[in-house]
Amino acid sequence: MGGGRRTSLGSAGVKLRRISAIAIKEVLQVWRDPRSLMMALLVPVMQMLLLGYGVNLDIANIPTCTYDEEGSPQSVDLLKHFQASRYFNLVANLNSERQIADAMDRGRCKIAIVIPADFSRDIAMTRYASVQAIVDATDDNTATLATAYARAVVQGYSDEVQAELALQLGQRTMPAPIAEQSRVWFNEDLESRNFIIPGVVALVLALVGAQLTSLTISREWERGTMELLLSTPVTPMELMIGKLLPYFAIGLLDAAICLAFALYLFAVPFRGAFSTLLFTTSLFLVVVLGIGYLLSVLIPSQIGASQMAMFATIMPISLLSGYAFPIDQMPAPIQALTYLVHARYYVTILKAIFLKGSSAAELWAPITALIVYAAAVAGLAARAFRRQLT
C-alpha cells in the first residue's frame, strides 16, 4: 500500500451499491437500444450457422475431368474406381491436353486424371504403370487432399490388379509387406467440423464481447455524459465493474446459445465437464470485455473504438488463435505472437474439453495464462481511465 497516492480502492472502497447503480443504468441503456440487444443475441446464432456450415475443410465430390488416351477395358475400369469414390465427381471426358488446360483455366474441374496410351500394355509387360493427376493447386489444401485421395484410389486398383494376376497365375497372393494400422484419437472420424466448431465458439464470444463493450465508454465521452458520471463519487474500478456486469450476463447467454448449437445441431462430441467449461468461459469473457473496455477508454470516438475493436479481435482471433490454422506450422516469430492472443488459450481449452475431455487440472497452463491476461487487462484499463481523466 503506497504512501499518499489515492488509489481507486482508497477511502471510499468498492461499494456494491454504486456498482449496481451503474449496472442498472447500463442495463437500461442496452434495453432501450433493442437493435444492439438483438445483435448481441442474433450474431451468435448467425455466426454459428454460417461458420458451422461454411467452415469445412473436408472435401468430397471434387469436380474431376478424365482423359483416357488408351480406352482399354483396364483404363475404363480404373476410371470406374474414381467414379465410385465419393471424393471424385466426374464432370467431363476430354480428348486432349489442350482441353484439360482449358477446363482447368476455367475452373471447370479441380483435378484431371490422365491415363496414358500404353497403360494396360505397360502393366502386362512390366507390371508397372503410371497415371497422371493434374491438380489445380490454386487452393493448395484442397489440392493436397485431392492428390492423397487419388493416390489411394490408384493404390486400391493396383492391389486389385495384383490379386487378379496372382489368381490367374495360381500364385499365393503376396500381401503388402507392411500393414499400416492407424488409430485416430479424439476426433475419430477426422471431421473438420469437430475441431472448428469449438474454435467458432471462442470466435463468436470474442467478437460480440469486444464489440458490445468497446462502445460503452466512448458513447459517454461523445455524448458528454462522462463529465456527469465523473462528478458522482463513483471510482474507476466501480465504473468498470458496473459497466461490464450486464455485458457479462449477455456473454454467458451467448455462450449458452453457441454451446447448444455445437452440441445439438452440429453434434460435436463433448467429453469434458460442464463446470470446467463454465469456469473457463467466464474467465475468457472477463478478458474479452476488459479489452473492449480498454479500447473504449483509450479511443474517445465511437467509430475509432469500434474499428479498433474489430481490427484487434477479428484478425488475430481468426488467424492466430489456432482455431483453423495450426499454430505449430507458423514461423517462430508469428508463433511467439500467438501467445499474445487471448483466444489462443481459450481455443486450446475448448478443443481439449470438447474432444479430449480434459479436466481443469490438466489445463492449468492455458487457464493460468487467461487469469494473468484478465488481471493485466483490468489493471491497464483502470490506469488508462485515470490518465484520461487528467
Partner 1 sequence: MREMLHRIARVIVKELLELRRDRWARFRLIVPPIVQVLVFGYAATFEVFGVSTTVLDLDHSQESRALISAFEDSSRFKIVRVAETQREAERTIDRSQAAIALVIHPGFAELLRKGQAAPLQILVDGTNSNSALIALGYADAIVSTFSQTYQSDYLYRTQPASAAGRVDITLDDRPWYNVGLNSRWFFVPGVIATLTLVMVVNLTAFAIVREREVGTLEQIMVTPIRPFELVAGKTIPFFLVGLTLVTIITLVGTLWFQVPFRGNPLVLLLGTVVYLLSTLAVGLAISTVCKTQQQAFATNFFFVNPMFTLSGFSFPIASMPVAMQWLTYLDPVRYFLVIIRATFLKGVGLAILWPQLLALLAIGGALMSLAVMRFRKSLD
Question: What is the C-alpha to C-alpha distance for residues 206 and 45, in angstroms, rounded to an integer?
Answer: 14
Shortest CB 377 distance to partner 1, Å? 21
Shortest CB 279 distance to partner 1, Å? 21
Shortest CB 48 distance to partner 1, Å? 11
Shortest CB 239 distance to partner 1, Å? 19
Answer whether 109's CB lies under 8 Å from 91's CB. yes
Question: Cβ of 239: how many Cβ atoms within 10 Å?
Answer: 25
Shortest CB 379 distance to partner 1, Å? 24
C-beta closer to partner 1: residue 16 or 28: 28
Shortest CB 343 distance to partner 1, Å? 13
Question: What is the C-alpha to C-alpha distance for residues 64 and 98, in angstroms, rounded to an integer?
Answer: 16
C-alpha cell at 90: 466426374
Question: What is the C-alpha to C-alpha distance for residues 127 and 111, in angstroms, rounded to an integer?
Answer: 26
C-beta closer to partner 1: residue 120 or 281: 120
C-beta closer to partner 1: residue 274 or 325: 325
Looking at 261-363, list the stretches that DSSP marks H as alpha helix, in order from N- to C-terminal side.
Answer: 274-298, 302-320, 332-338, 342-351
Phi first, then psi: give them for residue 112, nearest 5 degrees: -125, 130
C-beta closer to partner 1: residue 13 or 160: 160
* 116 CA to centre of own chain: 42
- What are the angstrom distances between the C-alpha of 17 and each of 8, 233, 241, 345, 378? 16, 12, 12, 34, 21
Of 297, 287, 286, the residue nearest 382 (C-alpha): 297
C-beta closer to partner 1: residue 93 or 155: 155
Residue the block writes with cell 493485466? 376
Shortest CB 371 distance to partner 1, Å? 21
Residues 6+ apart with CB under 8 A from 1: none
C-beta closer to partner 1: residue 10 or 188: 188
C-beta closer to partner 1: residue 181 or 390: 181
